Amino acid sequence: MIQSIVIFAVTYMAIISERFPRHWVALIGGGMLIITGVLTPLDALNYINWETLGLLSGMFVLVSILNEAGFFAWLAMTAIRKVNYQPAALFIVLVFLSSSLSMFMDSITVMLFLSALTLQLTRLLKLDPIPVIIAEVCAANVGGAATLMGDPPNVILGTALGFSFNDFAINTGPISAIIAATLLLVFYLLNRKSLIHAREMLTSETISQIESIHRENTHAHMTRVGLIGFSVAVFLLIFHLPLSHVIGIHINAATAALIPAVLSTFCIKPGDARAVILKVDGESILFFGGLFLLIGGLEKVRIFEHLATFMGNAPTSQNSLVMALHWIPGLASGVLDNVPMALAMSYVLEDLAKMPGMPALALMVWALALGVDIGGNLTPIGASANVVAYAYMERHYGKVGWKRWVMIAVPPTLLAMIMASLMVVGKGIIGWY
């Protein structure tokens, strides 16, 4: 137990320091658990959630095809042209795109292209990009809470505990949509004065400069292939359970994403396919693999069983326990990153579900998922989208700092968590979960 805790703590401190590539740190930490005998090689294979890695890999490939085709840049610029480049409307469009796209693809890719586009636009409009990009990050994490593949914590909780795309869409989807709309309004009101000032700076010359940002056409064939593959993946994720009964072959979330991803790569030119594969976010896949080993080491020595026993024996009501699962991991995600938090808590929920007198597992999952997804907004390292956007701003704009991020992100995030907690309690009262 001591070896497992020490290795986890040292590894996690190295990850938080951001001085080393986090995927290598996680893999080295996982390797140390095997070398020291905490995990056997067979344990390591068993603790890795291959369905999660398969689902993420498949979606990353499909998103990479669309990104390489120029689809996302075209989509953003088309939306911007539709609102005639007005700063207030631009702000709404960018934040809306961030939340809506993140429902169906990884927030890392969404924030990669949106951060670059936003920085270019705000420079031309003489607008501070930091509040805009932070608003987009918060919207991406909240929007991602709506579906199984929207945020990595949802992928982990869904595949580990047996919840499908439909389960998330029906239960967390409406809550996510309400909160995303509320955050859009809040961020707009907070930035209204600067947006009005930017409108006064808008000239025909500025519009022509914005237009010059993206003149390239999209790759038509790759776009078609990517959209068809993506649509097939979403279809299979929604209907994979009834299809499995019809055809007699089990289809899980991983195969639902990997099958259209593999077929799509065969439908584009070899050179384009190579470029797509090279741009897939392999570092995140390796990072998640290492995390599975680190959290598996703690599970092997029954840390999570003890935590579940403590929580189950605490003299609290069912609503109090549900709220604890929402708020404690949610706030902790802001400091510890919501992916390992979701992974660790999946073991706790699994043990809690076996104890008598506990709330329904589904209700606990929705409370936890919404907590860690939204709570990840609190700091620059709370979620993968935050890390990507923060690093891009510091590299291409200038110093941002934790203080600035916290001052902008914390009040709306706490409001969002309060709203989510009230709606989860409401679901428990009416029995819709």
Reduce the DSSP state of residue 49 to 3 states and report it: coil
Q: Quote the DSSP letter at residue 219.
A: -
C-alpha distances in angstroms, 331 versus 135, 252, 343, 371?
Answer: 18, 32, 15, 8
Q: Quote the DSSP letter at residue 201.
A: T
Contact between 151 and 111 under an 8 Å Cβ cutoff? The reply is: no
Residue 214: its pLDDT value, please? Answer: 59
Q: Say which residues have a Cβ less than 8 Å from residue 220's Cβ, sequence separation at least 6.
A: none
Predicted TM-score of the model (pTM): 0.78
Stated as kind and residue range, the H or E segment containing 39 is: none
CA gap 192, 182 in Å, rounded: 15
Low-confidence ranges of the chain (pLDDT < 70): 18, 201, 210, 213-217, 315
Q: What confidence tens digit (pLDDT) does each residue in 311-335 have?
A: 777 767 788 889 999 999 999 888 7
CA gap 212, 206 in Å, rounded: 10
Contact between 76 and 117 under an 8 Å Cβ cutoff? The reply is: yes
C-alpha distances in angstroms, 340 versus 231, 294, 295?
Answer: 29, 9, 7
Residues in the chain: 433
CA gap 87, 64 in Å, rounded: 29
Q: Say which residues have a Cβ less than 8 Å from residue 88's Cβ, sequence separation at least 6.
A: 188, 192, 195, 196, 199
Helix boundaries (H) for 69-106: 71-82, 87-101
Task: Say how many CA atoms lie within 13 Å of 139 toward its Cβ.
Answer: 30
